[in-house]
Every structure is written in structure tokens, then in C-alpha cells.
Amino acid sequence: MNEKKNDDGSSFSKLNVENLFSSKRGKKLQSKGKLDIKTLFRKQKNEDQSFDSSILLENITKRKKRLDEKYIEIFRLCRDKIIAANSAGITDILYEVPEFVPECQNYNSFESMNLIIEKLNDQQLSCMIINNRMIFISWHDLENKLISRYEIKEHDDCHTD
């Protein structure tokens, strides 16, 4: 009898259902004489096939934390640029945030700029968005702002006594 051969030279005569669909654990199919779809494709209890949504939540939480850390890192770079400019006697800068951050899929340049502006406004620095990545930052009138702020606070303290 002439056996048909595969491209790799192996024989089709050794091809059977047991070889095709045996489990990874070495158990043989127990079809009890019947061979049907349920027998061939029955689900096996396997720990690595289980699904737990807490894993998804954990990944979401990690991504958000990584994104928040990236926004803070970008703010710190801006802060360092302000400090360097101030040391050189400069009171106005343009700061450009990254357009994208490869390791943070949800990074948004506007969110990054808004965080920077919020933190700098808290420190009485003037900020203005120039475009989708650029902020104009100025502290040339910082002294006047801080004096006015102090006077208003002092005035409010006098009226509360």
C-alpha cells in the first residue's frame, strides 16, 4: 500500500483525532465510542484560561498612575526651565509640552498644559496658551501680584479681628 506523505516527509497514516485534540496534560479524549463537536472542543478547566476583571482594573490604575507621574515630570521640567531663566535675569519664557508620550497612550498635551498653568497660577505666575503645545509664562509682575495679595490678605485679617 502506498502511503501519502506530508511535505515534511511524515505519513498521514499516523494522523488521528487523539493526536490532534489531546490535552496539554497528556489526557486522551474519552469519547466512549462517540465522536462529536462537544467531545472534540470541550472546555478544559485551566487556571491560565480563567478571566478576572480585577486584572483589567489593576492595569487601568497603573496606566493612570503612570500618566499622572508623566504630567508631574513635565511640570517639573517646566519649573526647572523657569528657575534657569530667572537665574539668567529672564522673566518670560515659552514652554513647549510634548505632543505625545509613547509610554502613555492616554497622554493629552492640553491636560499637561492645564496642569502646568494651574500650578503656576497658584504661584501667581501669568500663563497664556499659545497653541496646542506651547505656553507663554511670565513672572515680570510677580512682585506686584504678591504685594497686592499680601495687602488683601492683611486687609481681610484686620476685619476679622
**Is 105 in contact with 143 (CB distance < 8 Å)?**
no
Condensed to tens digits (0 to 9), the pLDDT of residues 59-114 reads: 999 999 999 999 999 999 999 999 999 999 999 999 999 999 999 999 999 999 99
In a domain, 140, yes or no: yes
Tens of pLDDT, residue by residue over 9-53, are 666 565 566 666 555 555 555 556 666 666 666 665 555 567 788
Task: Please give the distance of CA 100 from its chain centroid, rounded to a whole number.
Answer: 11
- Total domains present in the chain: 2
Same domain, 143 and 75: yes
Q: In what order do the strands lie in the sheet with 134-138?
A: 92-96, 134-138, 126-129
pLDDT confidence bin for 149, thresholds 50/70/90 = confident
H/E/C letters for each residue in 70-91? HHHHHHHHHHHHHHHHHHCCCC
Q: Are residues 68 and 25 in the same domain?
A: no
What's this model's pTM, rounded to 2 decimal places?
A: 0.61
Q: Is 5 domain-assigned?
A: no
